[in-house]
Amino acid sequence: MGLLQQAYETYNQMEHLAGADISGKEMLAPVGHLVTRADLEIVLDAGGQYLSARAVEKDEPKIAIPATEQSASRTVQPHPHPLSDQLGYLAGFDAAKHRAYLDQLTDWASSEYGDAKLRAVLAYLKGGTILTDLANAGLIRLDEAGRPDNEKLLVRWTVNGLGPERSGPCWTDPVLFHQYIQYDAARRNAGPGGPGQPPEERPAAPSPDADLCMVSGQWERPASLHPKGIVAANGNAKLISANDSSGFTYRGRFDSPSQAASVGYTASQKAHNALRWLVANEGVRAGKRTFLCWNPQGIPLPPVTESMRRRGREPAERAAKPTEYRQQLQKALSGWRDALPADAGAVVAAFDAATSGRLALTYYSELPASDLLQRMADWEATLCWENGRFGIQSPTLSQLVNWAFGAPRNGRPEADDRILGGQVQRLVACRVGQALFPLDIERALVERASNLIVYEAGMRAELLFTACAAIRKYHLDHSKEEWTMGLDRENTDRSYLFGRLLAVCESIERSTYGPGEERETNAMRMQKAFAQRPMAGWRMLQEKLEPYFRQLKPGLREYYRRLTEEITDKLPASPELLNQKLDDVYLLGYYHQRAWRPGSPDKHAETTEE
């Protein structure tokens, strides 16, 4: 299956929620409707007499309004919505827009699918007092020509006086939803001549202009226009568009757009409405790219860019030891799996818009939901490190990219939106597809972490944690070499040992600082040069540290002397090898030695002391 088929299946599974207002969630639009935000509300009685009006608060939820194929895709051409619309269509100052709106509403209200609420709105608008009523209510201002200061304000309708079952808002009325869906289907079936037969009375054989829908597999009149606004941040961008018959979109390969892809109106509405609903409620934005992970049956899945240990906005439980972290991951994995049927599937997709009119599907994957959850858990189990007071964590995908490629902004690194979205997608592909951790991202993080002095003190710990997690993951993926999160005093790797020496030099100097004294150590200043030529850097640091070493108490001096000998005795004897550039694992030795204190556990225990 493909994206539209999965979205179509999702809508069919979730259709009982169409038009329902669920707190904290954006509404799933019924077929032939779109979800938007209203600005004004007008209350009428059953005869179309004005009762009151008010401004809709910004924090009120969006509503579903009826829309035609043309009005849902309108830009500059005047195509009215059937009921709720902007003042430019509802009032008479723009004669062409107003006449088109009234003709369309009259046709619906006078059809067999008409309703008393429609007739009340129609009677009110024919009276021509809407602008005066709103101005008297203090909701708009009119200029000398009688035009409103903002003609794009969208009005929603409430009609009272129709009895306890029918009185109330139009945008929450399921009867009105159903009536418009029937009216729209009959109108499209009959073509431009009128509504024609009701859907239930249509002949079983397909009409002459019907075609095979490549999404639903049914015969239906193809959609001439497809909805926009799947991703709110890319409002006018469409997934499907074939309106450029002179721009070589399909010329040279097809005679008409339907030969490229034929998608029925109902299938298009369901698929696009489902995608819009999923993106609004489950989508995760990274730069200019939107990531989506869902189960077509509506069973919740964790966002593929975030930690699976978190649910909603609840922070993950702190794990002080590796065993605790593994237990938490297993608990989270079991919790997500318990709600899944054995045959449940998962869809992972990413969207981006290169232009204002075209929305691209930049990544797509289908796999069993249980496999997705296992792969997400495996990613976090191998890409993790100790993060100070937060315990053992796995950095988020955005955190990895921002630290690897970001520039300092407001005290934190932020990658360019295009870079962030593209690189996060690479990591999503690694996480979902079990690909190897990218070398360039690991190297970029090592390079940044080898120059800690350029960052503010509060950011250094986060950078070092992120880099160490990436180093651990990279070595496990590429060479099956697993690094522990505790100090390994028996390790004889040259780079690891020099990293430990760098941390010892830093610790010696800081031991002489007075209470509250904050200044950069020589080891911090020389870190980058030390990583390039470690033996030369070590000799220079020894010279610079001599005055600090003499300030230490005798017992502490002896401790650091023995610790230094313990490390240097394990270094190789070859001078040429000693002065070669350090490998990435020197940062692990540096981190381990900084975190270790006399009496702290070593690699055989669970974790290190911070």
Q: Find the mean pLDDT for residues 509-523.
A: 89
Report pLDDT for 199: 43
- For residue 514, the model assigns a pLDDT of 85
Min mean pLDDT across 129-138, 178-187, 310-319, 423-432 is at: 310-319
598 CB neighbour count, 10 Å cutoff: 7
**Average pLDDT over the chain, rounded to an integer:** 89
Pick the more confident residue, 527 or 207.
Answer: 527
Is residue 44 domain-shared with residue 82, that is, in the same domain? Answer: yes
Residues 266 and 338 in one domain: no
Contacts from 605-608 at CB under 8 Å and sequence distance 24+?
605/486, 606/320, 606/321, 606/322, 606/323, 606/486, 607/320, 607/321, 607/322, 607/386, 607/392, 607/485, 607/486, 608/386, 608/485, 608/486, 608/487
CA triple 68-73-78, angle to 5 deg: 75
Residue 75 clears pLDDT 80, i.e. is over it: no
Residues 56 and 184 in one domain: yes
Same domain, 292 and 440: yes
Residues 304 and 340 in one domain: yes
With cut-offs at 50, 70 and 90, classify the pLDDT of residue 596: confident
Q: Give the per-residue pLDDT at 205.
A: 45
- Residue 476 confidence (pLDDT): 96
Domain membership flag for residue 471: no
- What confidence category does residue 249 fall into, taking pLDDT thresholds of 50, 70 and 90? low
Residue 184 lies in a domain: yes
Q: Residues 63, 182: one domain?
A: yes
pLDDT band at 292 (very low <50, low <70, confident <90, very high): very high
3-state secondary structure of 86: strand
User: What is the model's pLDDT at position 202?
Assistant: 43
> Of 198, 219, 245, which marks where a domain is finished?
198
Determine the pLDDT at residue 311: 64
**pLDDT attached to residue 24:** 85
Q: Mind listing the pLDDT tens digit for each residue in 443-478?
A: 999 999 999 999 888 899 999 999 999 999 999 999
Q: Which domain holds residue 298?
A: 283-455
pLDDT at position 56 over 70 = yes
pLDDT value at residue 312 = 55
Over residues 90-144, the pLDDT tens digits come to 998 999 999 999 999 999 999 999 999 999 999 999 999 999 999 999 999 999 8
pLDDT, average across residues 298-310 = 89
pLDDT of the residue at 259: 75
The pLDDT, as a whole number, for residue 120 is: 97
191 with 139, same domain: the answer is yes
Residue ending a domain, choose from 136, 171, 198: 198
pLDDT for residue 461: 93
420, 563: one domain: no
Per-residue confidence at 408, pLDDT binned at 50, 70, 90? confident
Question: Residue 66: beta bridge partners?
Answer: 33
The set of long-range contacts for 359-363, using a CB threshold of 8 Å and a minimum separation of 24, is: 359/230, 359/231, 359/234, 359/237, 359/238, 359/239, 361/3, 361/239, 362/289, 362/425, 363/291, 363/425, 363/428, 363/429
pLDDT-based confidence at 250, cuts 50/70/90? low
**Residue range 385-400: average pLDDT?**
93
- Identify which has the larger pLDDT, 358 or 575: 358
Q: Please write the tens of the pLDDT for every residue from 566-576.
A: 999 999 888 77
Residues 393 and 448 in one domain: yes
Q: Is the pLDDT of residue 349 over 50?
A: yes
Task: Please indicate, yes or no, whether residues 247 and 118 belong to a single structural domain of this protein.
Answer: no
The whole-number pLDDT of residue 606 equals 43
Please report the pLDDT score of residue 196 as a whole number.
41
State the total domains in the chain.
4
**Any domain includes 610:** no
Q: Are residues 256 and 169 in the same domain?
A: no
Residue 157 in this model has a pLDDT that exceeds 70: yes
Q: Cα dihedral angle (447, 449, 451, 454), rounded to 10 degrees?
A: 120
Does 466 reside within a domain? no
Spatial distance between the Cα atoms of 449 and 499, rounded to a whole number of angstroms: 12
Could you say which of 280, 312, 333 is where a domain stops?
280
Same-domain status, 95 and 218: no
